[in-house]
Amino acid sequence: MVTPDSGTISVDGARTSDLDPVALRRRIGYVPQDGGLLPHWRVRRNAALVPWLLGAADADAQADAALQLVGLDPRVFGDRWPRQLSGGQRQRVAIARALAARPHVLLLDEPFGALDAITRADLQESFRALRRSLRITAVLVTHDLREASALADRIAVLRHGRIEQVAAPDALLAAPATPYVAELLLRAGLR
Amino acid sequence: MRRSFAGVVALVLSAVGLGTQPTARPVVVASKPFGESYILAEMFAQLLESHGIAVDRRLGLGATQIAYGALRSGDIDVYPEYTGTGLIAILGLAPEPDARAVFARVAAASARRDSVRWLPPLGFENTYAIAVRRGTADSLHLATLTDLARAGHGLRGGFTADFIGRPDGLPGLVRTYGVQLRDVRALLPAVKYTALAAGGVDVIDGFSTDGLIARYDLVVLRDDRHFYPPYEAAAVVGRALQRVNPAAVAVLTELSDRIDETRMRALNRRLEVDGVPVAVVAADGLRALGLTPSRPGDSPAADSATALGERSSRTGGAQGRGSLAEYLRAERGPLASMTARHLLLVAVSLLAAIVIALPLGVGLTTVPRQAEGVIRTVGAIQTLPGIALLAFMIPLLGIGVVPALVALFLYSLYPILRNTYEGVRGTDSGAVDAGEALGMTPRQVMLYVRLPLATPVIMAGIRTAAVIDVGTATLAAFIGAGGLGDPIVTGLALSDTRMILSGAIPAAALALAVDTGLGVAQRMAARRWGGGRS
């Protein structure tokens, strides 16, 4: 959706500039901050979006499986409208929708930012379990360094569009590369 | 049924050689929207029918420009017109006092320019009559237009827009007599008399043969300097009829020089004061002239006159003086068919507008730079007065249903276009972004996200257009397209409040019903596509 100013982006070894953007997007799961569910589609149809776009005959079944994965019973939630769900449930549906076509890469843009603390912790826990069982590459954008250190294998700290440091959470905690990273850790209560 | 019976009669008559000739298409007889014009047109029609010639009536056409325009374009075949009007308003020539000279000039110029033929005059003049209340005339000692110039500066004038603008109207009056009124306002012909009677204005323009002048006990001021040109009434005939059906033209000339001013005034009074239906007034008039057989029931003319009396809300006056409810009950048959026609006009034009405006509105969202200009241009059409739009279209589309549909279509475009554009642009960006990010093509985003989410806004635009359409469609009567405007136009022309209401009330009810119906459709659409919101 945004083209790089310089450099290249590769997904599964292929440059994105060589790929059809629409096909590429269908191969990457995406979870926006506000869920971005289509308000005029029921939960099941929302979750089935990408399989349906890919022409899968069993799109609904894939959607139900994905709903199961994120802890929502498709028999209970499948026929509901998005507006009938809580914020946390909506976000689960958004994750289910991103996962339904079983992509290798998942992109999450502050997925838990707009939720209350308890729901957020709950969802973070489910997400960690999910990622472990699915063995999927996830790029998660967050302002919350605690969230990052709790969920990530590697953290890249960005400031003004430039990378300050890339490291595993432990390494980052142990040796902040710049004063900005150190300040950030301090403010997050991680040091 | 009745129509086919008339058709059979016409065929039989022509087969036995009594009829003039087998007519491929009916003769289209029209009138302008005031009582005398209705009566004369109805007499033309019944006279033709008594000779076995099929007739199609288009009574109450907008005004001079619309009626004459329709004659020139061949949409109508004949209507009653006045030589003075032909001279000044149609041909744009200078006024002159001699009746014979005026007729000769008008007839020659019309034939040359438009291939329109003026049949020999009917036998009476109907000139402008400047009228005041009897009380005003008495207290200010007004008898002539010179008196009005002397004593009229405190009076308020209420004239038709026609009269205010025409060189042989108010401007000429001011030039010739130096008349200066305190205030002049434009009034519809139908409200002039009631406004004068109620004291809202003090001076109006009427017609010298007017029945209403007697009904309201008015004093007509004499044209003592002979300013007005002669307004001799005559049938004007279009080119097609002269060529295709000369026998019909010959029948129409039977009326030439047969109706004098006394007779015409009596006919007008029966219509406008006594409330007798037009068809009956015309039938009696023809019988009195000996042009149709005197015993009713044994001739096609009498048959069609009865038929017309029954569907009198189109051509007739008030039958008796019963209550509005009784009138509506008596007229429910014709009113139902007019309502159906009205609805059809609205439905067809609205559907066409949806087919055009919806894709256009969607397409414009991809070129927002150009969009505003296009939408504003379409919006500008909205500001044209309906009657003006209809008049503009006569040279292109003639009169009748087609130009009415085009006008209604044009009026419906803007609300639908504007709401589609704004609705589609304003869709929830979260849903749109998610759709794009997950791999929907732009077309899929439009079809599955933007359009469904914009549905309530688009439907609101369609509802607005529909309600405007129901109101505007009443104007269609001015160009002979029928619908509920018919009784409104006729009622206005004949100053018959009950008849006006018999069109206005169903039209208002129809607007409400259409809005409610589309509201239900909107809720159903919301349930279907809008996430169960209602």
Here the ipTM equals: 0.86
The DSSP symbol for B203 reads E
Q: What is the pLDDT averaged over residues B497-518?
A: 90
Residue environment code for B145-184, b if the CB has 16+ CB neighbours within 10 A, otherwise e: bbbbbeebeebbbbbbebbbebebbbebbeebbebebeeb
**Which strand (E) or helix (H) includes residue B320?**
none
Q: Does the distance separating the beta carbons of B449 and A50 come in below 8 Å?
A: no
The arithmetic mean of pLDDT across residues B398-416, rounded, is 89
Looking at residue B304, its amino acid is S
Minimum distance, in Å, between the CA of residue A178 and any CA atom of chain B? 34
**B440: closest CA of chain A, how far (Å):** 7
Tell me the CA distances in angstroms from A50 to A27, A61, B23, B242, B453, one per residue in order: 9, 12, 69, 73, 20
* Fold agreement (B24-125+231-322, B128-220): yes
Contacts of B452 in chain A (CB under 8 A): 40
Distance (Å, rounded) from C-alpha B83 to C-alpha B258? 17
B436–A25 C-beta distance less than 8 A? yes
pLDDT at position B38 over 90: yes
pLDDT in tens, B283-324: 999 999 998 886 554 444 444 444 444 344 444 444 455 678
Spatial separation of the C-alpha atoms in residues A182 and A191, rounded to whole Å:
8
| Distance from C-alpha of B67 to C-alpha of B58, rounded to nearest angstrom | 10
Subunit contact B444:A38, Cβ cutoff 8 A: no
More confident site: B209 or B12: B209
Cα distance between residue B62 and residue B392, in whole Å: 12
Nearest CA in chain B to A94: B434
Of B72, B62, B69, B53, nearest in space to B6 by CA? B53
**CA angle (B28, B481, B190) in 5-degree steps:** 95
The pLDDT of residue B78 is above 60? yes
Sequence-ordered strand ranges (E) for chain A: 10-11, 14-15, 28-31, 105-109, 137-141, 155-159, 162-167
Residues of B in contact with A97 (CB under 8 A): 438
Check A53 against B452: CB less than 8 A apart: no
Provide the mean pLDDT of chain A.
88
What are residue A28's DSSP bridge partners? A105
- For residue A10, the distance in angstroms to the closest alpha carbon of chain B comes to 17
Mean pLDDT in residue range B265-271 = 90
pLDDT at A190 over 90: no
- In chain B, domain spans: 24-125+231-322, 128-220, 330-529
Question: Model pTM?
Answer: 0.72
Fill in the amino acid letter for B146: T
Q: How far is CA B11 from CA B21, B36, B47, B305, B529, in A?
A: 9, 31, 17, 19, 58
Hey, what CATH topology would domain B24-125+231-322 get?
D-Maltodextrin-Binding Protein; domain 2 (3.40.190)
What tokens appear for B93 in the block? 């020539």
Contacts of residue B186, Cβ cutoff 8 Å, sequence gap at least 6: B159, B160, B161, B164
> Which strands make up the sheet holding A28-31, listed edge to edge?
A28-31, A105-109, A137-141
Q: What is the pLDDT of residue B111?
A: 94
Report the alpha-carbon distance of residue B343 to residue B483 in Å, rounded: 8
The CATH code belonging to domain B330-529 is 1.10.3720.10
Residue of A nearest to B451 (CA): A40
| Average of per-residue pLDDT values in chain B | 84
Q: What is the pLDDT of residue B190?
A: 67
B146 pLDDT above the threshold of 90: yes
Per-residue model confidence (pLDDT) at position B62: 76
Among B438, B443, B448, B523, the strongest candidate for a mutation testing the A interface, having the largest count of A CBs within 10 A, is: B438
Nearest CA-CA distance, residue A148 and chain B, Å:
23
Give yes or no for A34 touching B (CB within 8 A). Answer: yes
H helix runs in B291-331, sequence order = 300-310, 312-315, 324-330
Residues counted in chain A: 191
Instruction: Record the tokens describing residue B40, joined without a space.
Output: 């004369």
Cβ separation A40–B437 shorter than 8 A: no
A34 contacts on B by Cβ (under 8 Å): 430
pLDDT digits (tens, 9 = 90+) for A106-140: 999 988 887 888 888 888 888 888 888 888 889 99
Query: Predicted confidence band at B61 (pLDDT cuts at 50, 70, 90)?
Result: confident
* Minimal Cβ distance to B437: which of A25, A27, A81: A25
Contacts of B437 in chain A (CB under 8 A): 1, 25, 30, 32, 36, 107
pLDDT of residue A161: 82
pLDDT of residue B391: 75
Chain B residues in contact with A1 by the CB 8 A cut-off are 436-437
Between A53 and B10, whose confidence is greater? A53
* CB-CB neighbors (< 8 A) of A36 in chain B: 430-431, 433-435, 437
- Whether the pLDDT of residue B80 is over 80: the answer is yes
For range B115-130, the mean pLDDT: 93
Distance from CA of B513 to the nearest CA of A (A): 28
| Contact state of B430 with A41 under an 8 Å Cβ cutoff | no
How far B441 CA sits from the closest chain A CA (Å)? 7
In this prediction, residues A1-10 reach a mean pLDDT of 74
* pLDDT at residue number A66: 92
CB distance A39–B436 less than 8 Å?
no
Q: How close A159 gets to chain B, by Cα (Å)?
A: 25
How much of chain B, in percent, has pLDDT values that exceed 70? 89
Structure tokens at B49: 């029918």
* pLDDT > 90 in chain B, percent: 48
**A-B C-beta contacts closer than 8 Å:** 68
Cα B137 versus chain centre, distance: 34
Kindly identify which residue of chain A lies nearest to residue B452, measuring between CA atoms. A40
What does the radius of gyration of chain A's CA atoms come to, in whole angstroms?
18
Assign B479 a pLDDT band (cuts: 50, 70, 90).
confident
pLDDT at B10 over 80: no
Instruction: Kindly indicate the confidence band of residue B24, based on its pLDDT and cuts at 50, 70 and 90.
Output: low
Please tell me the CATH superfamily of domain B128-220, with its number: Osmoprotection protein (prox); domain 2 (3.40.190.120)
Q: Is A87 on the interface with B (CB under 8 A)?
A: no
Q: Which of B199-208, B241-250, B477-486 has the lowest mean pLDDT?
A: B477-486
Nearest to B439 among A22, A35, A38 (CB): A22
Which chain B residue's Cα is nearest to A82?
B531
Picking from A35, A53, A81, the nearest residue to B439 by CB comes out as A53
Helix (H) or strand (E) holding B79: strand B78-82
CB-based contact A82:A38 (threshold 8 Å): yes
pLDDT in tens, A31-65: 988 888 999 899 999 999 999 999 889 999 999 99
**Which pLDDT score, from 0 to 100, does residue B4 have?**
44
Q: What is the pLDDT of residue B294?
A: 66
Residues 6+ apart with CB under 8 A from B92: none
